[in-house]
C-alpha cells in the first residue's frame, strides 16, 4: 500500500512566507504531508505543548533558517530553536536549510538587535554541526535541495509513515467520544441565524413554478444555472449561479457551484468539531438556502443523506451522517468526481474575495487566480477540516476549522421531476 510521510516545516514566519509555501507545495507534489505553524489552533494549550504534540506524529523535520531568529518563549529561547531541539531529542530525522548569503536579504527580513543577532548566530552554528545541512539562495533553489535531501533522508532513515486504513476499520470508542462532545456543542453553540442543528430546514411545502429545469441534454461536466447569489465585490447584485453537473441518477443531478460563492469558517470557533455539528453546515442550510433560492427552487432541492466519510489517511472521527439540502463534498467525493488536480481548481467570485477568500496568483484557472475550498471530512486532528488547495490537490491534513480565508463551494442534488 502507498505510504505517505508527514514532514514538519520549522522556520520563522513573516520573513519566510514564500519559502514555506513553496516547500509545502513541493512536499505535496512529492506525496508527503506537510505540517507546521499554519495548523496551530487558537486554544488554551501552550504553544510548545501543541508543537510537541504535532512533532510526535511527524516522520521528518525540515528547518529553514534565514535572517531572523524569531519570537521567544518565556525562557528566552526562540520557538524555532526549541522545535529543532525537540526534534533532535525525539530522534526525528532533521534536514536543515540555511540561507547562503544573509547580506542579500531585505532589511526587514533581518534581526535589528544585537541580542537577537547573537542568538541567531549561535543557533546557526549549532545547526551547521549537523551533517544534513544545505545552503540555499532562493525559493526555487531551496525546493530543489528539499527534494534531494528528503529522498536521501527517506533512504537512509526509513520512517513509519502513514498508510490508508481499511475501509471496514471501525473505532467505536472514538465515535462515542465524538458523540459526547457533539452533544455538548449542541447545548451551547448557535450560528449566525441562531438556529440549532436539529432545526435545519429539509422540507418546503410549496408548488413549483413553471420555470422548469431542462431534463434532456444534461451531461456530466456540463453546467446549468439555478438560483441567484451576490457575485460582485459590492455584494448588491443577485446573479444567476452556475452549477457544474457531477453525477446524474434517474431524474436527479448532483451539482457543485462552478465558482466559490462565499468565504466562511468551517466552524465559528476553534474546537473539536465534525460536519454534523459545525456552524458552516447550519449556515448552508438556513441563511444561504434562503438567500440563494426562491421557495419554488428550494422545493426542487432534494433532502440528501450525507454520509460521514472518514479521512482516508487519519483516524479522526467524522461524526454522524446528516440529512441536508446543501452540503460540502468529502475527500472521497472530491477525488471521485474530479479526475485530476487541475480540474479541481476553483476560481472565487469577486464577492467571495471581498468576504476574505484567499487566492494565489501562482495558481490560476482560465487566467484567474484560484482559491482553497472546504470539504466536510475531518483533517488530521479533530479541530482541523479537510480542504482542496489552490492548486487543486487534496492535502488530507486540512486547516484549522476557524480559518477565515477558505472559500465555500456548495453542493446539492436537484430533483428534475419536482
Mark whether 260 and 330 lie in a shared domain.
Answer: yes
**53, 40, 149, 38: which is closest to 98 by C-alpha?**
149
How far apart CA 102 and CA 91 sit, in angstroms, is 29
- What pLDDT, in 10s, does the model give residues 34-71? 988 766 554 445 778 878 888 888 999 999 999 999 88
How far apart CA 395 and CA 176 sit, in angstroms, is 27
pLDDT: which is higher, 38 or 109: 109
Radius of gyration of the chain, Cα coordinates, nearest whole angstrom: 23
314, part of any domain:
yes
**Range name among 169-173, 217-221, 347-351 with the lowest pLDDT average:** 169-173
170, part of any domain:
no
Question: Given 107, 130, 163, which residue is the final one in a domain?
Answer: 163
Q: pLDDT band for 165, please (50, 70, 90 cuts).
A: low
Percent of the chain with pLDDT over 70: 84
214, part of any domain:
yes
- Taking 90 as the threshold, does the pLDDT of residue 151 lie above it? no
- What pLDDT, in 10s, does the model give residues 382-398? 999 999 999 999 987 78
Mark whether 129 and 86 lie in a shared domain.
Answer: yes
168, part of any domain:
no
Q: How many domains does the chain have?
A: 2
Mark whether 108 and 193 lie in a shared domain.
Answer: no
- Taking 90 as the threshold, does the pLDDT of residue 245 lie above it? yes
- Residue 19 has a CB neighbour count (10 Å cut-off) of 21
- Taking 90 as the threshold, does the pLDDT of residue 186 lie above it? no
Mark whether 205 and 153 lie in a shared domain.
Answer: no
Q: List strand residue ranges (DSSP E) for 207-354, in order.
A: 223-229, 239-249, 252-257, 262-263, 304-306, 322-324
175, part of any domain:
no
C-alpha angle 104-110-111 in degrees, rounded to nearest 5: 150
Mark whether 155 and 50 lie in a shared domain.
Answer: yes
245, part of any domain:
yes
How far apart CA 255 and CA 246 sit, in angstroms, is 5
197, part of any domain:
yes
Q: Are 206 and 296 in contact (CB under 8 A)?
A: yes
**Per-residue model confidence (pLDDT) at position 260:** 97
Give me the mean pLDDT over the 276-299 stretch: 93
**Per-residue model confidence (pLDDT) at position 285:** 93
Q: Are 98 and 149 in contact (CB under 8 A)?
A: no
Mark whether 202 and 59 lie in a shared domain.
Answer: no
Percent of the chain with pLDDT over 90: 53
Q: pLDDT band for 328, please (50, 70, 90 cuts).
A: very high
Q: Which range marks the domain in which residue 225 is found? A: 180-415
372, part of any domain:
yes
Mark whether 196 and 102 lie in a shared domain.
Answer: no
Mark whether 378 and 243 lie in a shared domain.
Answer: yes
Mark whether 268 and 408 lie in a shared domain.
Answer: yes
Mode of pairing for the β-strands spanning 223-229 and 6-10: unpaired
- What pLDDT, in 10s, does the model give residues 188-207? 333 333 334 434 444 433 33
Domain holding 126: CATH number? 3.40.50.10140
How far apart CA 237 and CA 323 sit, in angstroms, is 30
Please list, residue by residue across 241-257, b when 16 or more beta carbons sit within 10 angstroms of its beta carbon and e when fewer do: bebbbbeeeeebbbbbb
Mark whether 184 and 95 lie in a shared domain.
Answer: no
**Per-residue model confidence (pLDDT) at position 216:** 62
How far apart CA 61 and CA 94 sit, in angstroms, is 5
Q: pLDDT band for 332, please (50, 70, 90 cuts).
A: very high
Mark whether 195 and 159 lie in a shared domain.
Answer: no
Mark whether 145 and 256 lie in a shared domain.
Answer: no
Cα four-point dihedral sign 363, 365, 368, 372: negative
Question: Given 100, 132, 163, which residue is the final one in a domain?
Answer: 163
Question: Given 136, 163, 190, which residue is the final one in a domain?
Answer: 163
Please list, residue by residue across 340-371, b when 16 or more beta carbons sit within 10 angstroms of its beta carbon and e when fewer do: ebeebbbbbbbbbbbbbbbbeeebebeeebbb
Give me the mean pLDDT over the 297-309 stretch: 93
Amino acid at each position: 500500500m502507498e505510504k505517505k510521510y508527514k514532514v514538519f516545516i520549522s522556520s520563522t514566519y513573516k520573513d519566510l512566507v514564500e519559502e514555506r509555501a513553496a516547500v509545502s507545495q513541493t512536499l505535496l507534489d512529492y506525496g508527503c504531508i506537510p505540517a507546521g505553524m499554519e495548523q496551530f489552533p487558537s486554544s488554551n494549550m501552550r504553544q510548545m505543548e501543541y508543537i510537541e504534540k504535532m512533532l510526535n506524529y511527524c516522520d521528518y523535520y525540515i528547518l529553514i533558517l534565514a535572517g531572523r531568529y524569531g519570537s521567544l518563549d518565556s525562557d528566552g529561547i526562540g520557538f524555532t530553536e526549541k522545535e529543532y531541539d525537540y526534534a533532535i531529542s525525539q530522534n526525528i530525522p532533521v534536514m536543515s536549510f540555511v540561507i547562503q548569503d544573509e547580506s542579500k536579504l531585505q532589511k526587514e527580513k533581518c534581526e535589528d538587535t544585537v541580542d537577537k543577532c547573537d542568538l541567531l548566530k549561535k543557533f546557526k552554528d549549532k545547526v551547521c554541526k549537523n551533517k544534513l545541512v544545505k545552503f540555499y539562495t532562493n525559493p526555487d533553489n531551496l525546493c530543489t535541495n528539499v527534494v534531494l535531501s528528503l529522498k536521501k533522508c527517506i533512504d537512509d532513515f526509513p520512517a513509519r509513515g502513514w498508510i490508508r486504513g481499511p475501509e471496514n476499520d471501525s473505532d467505536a470508542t472514538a465515535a462515542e467520544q465524538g458523540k459526547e462532545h457533539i452533544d455538548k456543542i449542541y447545548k451551547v453553540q448557535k450560528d449566525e441565524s441562531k438556529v440549532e442543528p436539529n432545526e435545519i430546514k429539509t422540507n418546503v411545502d410549496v408548488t413549483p413554478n413553471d420555470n422548469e429545469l431542462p431534463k434532456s441534454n444534461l451531461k456530466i461536466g456540463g453546467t446549468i444555472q439555478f438560483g441567484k447569489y451576490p457575485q460582485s465585490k459590492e455584494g448588491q447584485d443577485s446573479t444567476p449561479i452556475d452549477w457544474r453537473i457531477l453525477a446524474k441518477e434517474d431524474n436527479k443531478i448532483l451539482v457543485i457551484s462552478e465558482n466559490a460563492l462565499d468565504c466562511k469558517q468551517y466552524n465559528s470557533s476553534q474546537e473539536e468539531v465534525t460536519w454534523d455539528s459545525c456552524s458552516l453546515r447550519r449556515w448552508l442550510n438556513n441563511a444561504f438556502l434562503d438567500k440563494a433560492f426562491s421557495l419554488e427552487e428550494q422545493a426542487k432541492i432534494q433532502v440528501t443523506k450525507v454520509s460521514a466519510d472518514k479521512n482516508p489517511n487519519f483516524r479522526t472521527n467524522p461524526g454522524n451522517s446528516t440529512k441536508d439540502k446543501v452540503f460540502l463534498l468529502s475527500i472521497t467525493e472530491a477525488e471521485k468526481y474530479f479526475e485530476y488536480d487541475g480540474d479541481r481548481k476553483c476560481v472565487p467570485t469577486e464577492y467571495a474575495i471581498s468576504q476574505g477568500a484567499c487566492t494565489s496568483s501562482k495558481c490560476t484557472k482560465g487566467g484567474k487566480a484560484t482559491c482553497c475550498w472546504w470539504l466536510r471530512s475531518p483533517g488530521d486532528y479533530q479541530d482541523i477540516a479537510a480542504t482542496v488547495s489552490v492548486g487543486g490537490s487534496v492535502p488530507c491534513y486540512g486547516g484549522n476549522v476557524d480559518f477565515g480565508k477558505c472559500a465555500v463551494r456548495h453542493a446539492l442534488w436537484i430533483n428534475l421531476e419536482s
